[in-house]
Structure 1
Amino acid sequence: MQQELFLPVSNNFEKLFLSKKDYDVIIKAGEDNDQREIYAHSNILRCQSDYFDTAFSSNWAEKKDGKYFFKKPNILPHIFEIIIRYLYCGQLDLNVKNGPDTLKLLVATEELGLNILSEYIQEFLIKQNDPIGILEVAFQHENFTTLRGYGLEAICQDPYILFGTDKILSLPAQILESLLKRDDLVLDEIEVWNNLIRWAHAQQPTVNKDPSEWTKDELTLMERTLLRFIPLIRFHDITSEEYYDKVVPYEDLLPKKLKNEILKFYLVSQEKQIGSLPSRNVIDSALINSKHLALFAGWIDKKDKSLKMIPYEFNLIFRASRDGNTAAAFHNKCNNKRATIIVIKIKGTNQIVGGYNPLDWEGGGIIKDTQDSFIFNFTDFRDINTGKIGRVTSASYALICNHQWGPIFGNGHDLSMYPDNQNNKWYSNPMTYPNLNIPRNFEIDDYEAYQVVKK
């Protein structure tokens, strides 16, 4: 009923806007060949906008022969007409196909102090899912906080839409700095470093690509370019091998104090962190990183490849070295958490194995049926390409839940933790899953369980 009452009033104001009857405001929007006069009524503009109320109450607008003359050369005529029409009848038609005009409209609403309309357009742009373009606009205007927050978060959760592409080469320094400051950037730190170096070379195209050939002036130029970014790198999350291969060639860019801290970190086992910035909150694990998560997500979705956009959260719920390496401790932490993924590091090696349970671990001696479980084996956890998956071949015997044991995958104990009295022993006997060459009997350094939750 309220809508039926509102429409006639709205339509009448729209007719007034179109007819220009008794107008007393002339707005000259645009400039040169793009300039056009727009006619309006001061009472309506003053009622709807504090900006116009102030303009007509002061010397902002020239008044002659009973009419206000208002100049806005920086706002295109068709953009201004959209705004005036909205002020008259509360209607706004955002053309999805014309993104640049929508951005210009947003900029104009900020200048005219139309906060409600600005928020509405920001929400509209967010739905168009162009975080890079959105950020470039948002960082030009302090008030676009909604857009800025969305753009930064979207890229942090799906960094491959920017990092590793040519788009990063022309990224404004302010946006790159804001991204590198964040702890939720889901990207391995060595990839952060590699992209930063690519970006720096793009800003200084005359500098030799080979740092060993740099002149003193080229080194100084690159130092200035990267001065504000180097402290944002979490070097403690870069392995010694990666550091040697990727960072050492550029080591002259690092301050002497930082180089000494990095050297101490790699040589002194008690050192846990370099600098004041914590590790990025990709995942709380000493065994896996974001690349593993992307691959696990692909396996869960039966893509058999890494996903660029990870649709799951992996929440650490159990770590044997922290919570107790017993069956009771495992079940206490994991029984009611539904889907979980188990990650196990074989003692004295770089090998990690594990499995995915899409159900739960509740039950005493219960065999559970699912076609979605799998086990896996990475011969070297540092190399994602060594990972192999084995999907369940006999779904009716996919999982066994027993309070006296830890996790059990398969009727033949294809991957399982012995009962507590077996001294940290694990077992693999392929029957229900393919043979992934997991050792028949092995001990572990540690193992973890992650709750898998759809975002």
Structure 2
Amino acid sequence: MATKFYERLSNDLTQLLENPIDYNVTIEVGEEPDNQIYKVHSYILQSLFKMPNISIKIFNIIIEYIYGGIISLEKLENSVIFDLLIISNELNLDELVENLQTHFVNNNASWLKLNFSRVYQTSCQVKNFNIIQEFCNNIISKYPNTIFESGNFLTLPEDALISIIKKDDLQLEESKIWQYVIQWGKAQNPTLPSNLKEWTSDNFLTLKTTLKKCLSYIRYFNISSEDFFEMIFPYQQILEPELWLDINSKLLAPNRPISSSVLPPRKILNVTLPTRITLSSNIITDEHTLEISSWIDKRESNYTENNPYEFKLLVRGSRDGFDVKTIYEICDKVSNTVIVLKVKDTGEILGGYIPCELDKNQNKWIYSQDSFAFSLKTTNLKNSILSRVKNFNNAIANYPKSSQLYFGYTLCLEGNLKTYKTCYCDSDWYDMPIRSKGHIDSNNRFNVEEYEVFEVSKKK
């Protein structure tokens, strides 16, 4: 069903779009040589545009909306609709922005949850995404670890953090909220000493200035005396003297009147909420796992929701170490693993699936008919690349003693993945290259800024 917008667009002008008589404005959409020129009218669009970052598919939808006030979403993928929402906001199409947000929340909430990290990050960066941000904040209220334990937490904008910690129904102990706020504040000032004993008055003043707006939303008078002395006492210098005195007075003499405002306690639910399973990754999204799961099941089309597999984090470079031998030590005798790597400087996400068991005790080539390597879609790669094994006898090079792990020669991991540029990609023994740069020239080798290994298993 098509949605009609006539509140601001009172006339159907689509005939002018189909037959642009007397056009006097041109809009260039897309990048050469695949760009497209649109002929439009100055009384509808005022100036000459070049829009290389907008896809022709999305602009066709927008231009029809501008001229005719009609838009149909039924045949569009949710990812396309979300891109449409972002572009509509950039073009100040406020009515369409509001309608698309409402469409998502009312009709495609499952997609928003599935792509929560991307959706929430975007809603924080875009001022007009109030409806979606409120939707995300309601999820965070019930499942605060969704954001507080995510890799994106420390990069949240200040107003996004405030919108979370000011909520009365945030299901988190006040002392933990305080700890997260302090953690966020320190992350905004990376030059602060890591050892609190080394802090000067200026260091505390820096943190106080950073957290000035956040600190007023902490419910200090709902923190136990034990947590107060353990968590807040070391940071007393970032609190106003009057508030510091009132907190101490309340702990020592609860009935004594104080001048500081006392926020009500959080509305913590008495029932235990069901655990929300979220992907623990600093590299890939839920959308990526759906694609990888589809490849494991050899589907012609990708899963769009209800992933049948669980991705359990086994190894993370920044946590466990970057030497390939670490993978063998932790994943010994483990089958059905997925390795993902974020390439340093380029942002590429490469990886592979190993259905067979790794063996830390011997060097050997492992037979497999189902292994594959891949390059996942990112902002710089429009579509993911899948490369399946074709030489089954040489599917996986299991070489722990020389610190090597190969997917044929399509993806080759060697040594310390972060320190040395020893990784490379070719196309032997798998059906296509996943990266344009080969291994012949040493300058084409790469290292990674992060890698992760997941054990993949069917959900019960």
Radius of gyration: which is bigger? 1
Q: TM-score, normalised by structure 1?
A: 0.49
